[in-house]
A and B are shown apart, each in its own frame.
Chain A
Amino acid sequence: MSVEYDTSSRFADYAHPERLVSTEWLAEHLGTPGLVVVESDEDVLLYETGHIEGAVKIDWHTELNDPVARDYIDGAGFAALLGGKGISRDDTVVIYGDKNNWWAAYALWVFRLFGHEDVRLLDGGRAKWEAEGRAYTTEVPAREPVDYPIVERDDSGIRAFRDDVFEHLGKPLIDVRSPEEYSGERTSAPAYPEEGALRAGHIPTAKSVPWARAVAEDGGFKPLDELDAIYRGEAGLVDGDEIVAYCRIGERSSHTWFVLHYLLGFDNVRNYDGSWTEWGSAVRVPIARGSEPGTVPAK
């Protein structure tokens, strides 16, 4: 049973307004049966310092990743995780977090890999909730564990692997990292540790659209016309395009995936979560440097 959608006019222009809720909507709907609020942050302790009342925490690193292989947890693991947190398959899940929902979008994308149907983002995340002076609590909710069905992950629709990217070369690629990472001056975001990639630059032909360009000043998403100007205008995407987005490990590009798919309405968008830490370390893959996209390499 889905909780009613946020029908506020600010989301109405987006292709899938049902994927967003506003802070006002959430404040009014807290405690509604069938609604579970999930916080997912970069900082693993931020939830403990205070969170939205009733929210449960899901940590991308320690809970959504497989502890051994570089992959996400499997169907049994996801069922155990969600069931243990008292989330049912038909619950409406609203995810929010720090850093303009960067990690919240990542968690949402993983929820969609498992086909959890009704999962939405809180527009603006923690920053907007706090800026509006809304309350936090440190009380951890005691939710009864439930049976979440074991559903195998389906990577085919919204996840791209390295070989898929090879096949994709010539179709639109969006690099959402910082300009310095794109041009090859460095392998990690400014102010982030240099890690995990042996070469710097970008996948040839990828257009540079840093993920945060989709974010408005209040931390929420920009209105449709502004997003159109960036992605359809500057980046030249057209309806019907198949698109792959990537970043360093797939987190920032989940945010862009959300924008392209749910807000702008592109039906075929995949997130390459291997991203630069894989591509930039792989043997004999083509790499372009500098601020220009470069040309399609011979296959």
Chain B
Amino acid sequence: MTLPDQLAEIREDFLGLEVRDRLQLLLEFANELPELPERYRDHPDLLERVEECQSPVYIFVEVDDASRVHMYATAPKEAPTTRGFASILAQGLSGLDAQELLAIPDDFPNTLGLTEAVSPLRIRGMTGMLARAKRQVRARLAA
């Protein structure tokens, strides 16, 4: 199973760094998490809460007519780790074909070399986000 290029690149970027520098890269991702598009800002009801995360984070996944995926997320600035996880997925998943996204291994978050830096417990939040993104994609495809 090969990872989509954009996710493989993110993983290589993390694995190429010393453990403590991986936290800095995660922080850069956190800072890059884009604002929600306007159509979701006024519709919090459309967003799904990721219960696996300790901080309030919400995601929404769209599948367009060409079967391309777009993922949006919002998390408070007091929760940079969670923002970082959301940003990795927003950047790594957006633009993928829906089937490509569904084929991403569920344990992808554990392969980024972050478990040591942030602890396995915290990584679960990202695993939960990926699982929910996949479920939303399945639901959109079935709709």
Chain A residues near B (Cβ < 8 Å): 42-46, 48-49, 61-62, 98, 191-195
Contact = CB atoms under 8 A, between A and B. Distances in A.
Contacts of A49: 27, 30, 77, 80
30 contacts: A42-B54, A43-B79, A43-B80, A43-B82, A44-B81, A44-B119, A44-B122, A45-B27, A46-B78, A46-B80, A46-B81, A48-B24, A48-B27, A49-B27, A49-B30, A49-B77, A61-B118, A62-B116, A62-B117, A98-B78, A191-B49, A191-B51, A191-B54, A193-B51, A193-B52, A193-B53, A193-B54, A193-B124, A193-B125, A195-B124
Contact of A43 (B49, B81, B117, B124): B81
B27 to A, nearest CB: 5
A99 to B, nearest CB: 9
Contacts of A191: 49, 51, 54, 56
Contacts of A194: 51
B112 interface: no
A48 B22 CA distance: 12
A195 B53 CA distance: 11
> Majority SS of interface residues in chain B?
helix
A48 B30 CA distance: 11
Contacts of B69: none
Interface of B: 23-24, 26-27, 30, 49, 51-56, 77-82, 84, 116-119, 121-122, 124-125, 128
B80 A62 contact: no
A62 B119 CA distance: 6
Nearest to A99: B78
A192 B82 CA distance: 13
Given A61-B122, A193-B51, 14 more contacts: A43-B79, A44-B23, A44-B122, A45-B27, A45-B30, A46-B79, A46-B80, A48-B23, A48-B27, A49-B27, A49-B77, A62-B116, A98-B78, A191-B49
B34 to A, nearest CB: 18
A191 to B, nearest CB: 7
- The 7 A-B residue pairs with the shortest CB-CB distance, nearest first, are A45-B80, A61-B119, A45-B81, A193-B52, A44-B118, A43-B81, A48-B27
Given A193-B52, A193-B128, A45 B121 contact: no
A194 B54 CA distance: 10
B26 to A, nearest CB: 6
A61 B115 CA distance: 11
Contact of B121 (A43, A46, A61): A61
Contacts of A48: 23-24, 27, 80
Contacts of B27: 45, 48-49
B58 to A, nearest CB: 12
B68 to A, nearest CB: 30
A193 B128 CA distance: 10
Nearest to B50: A193
B119 A45 contact: no
Contacts of B122: 44, 61
A124 to B, nearest CB: 15
A189 to B, nearest CB: 9
Contacts of A192: 54
Contacts of A98: 78
Contacts of B53: 193
Indicate the member of B30, B49, B56 with the most A CB atoms within 10 Å. Answer: B30
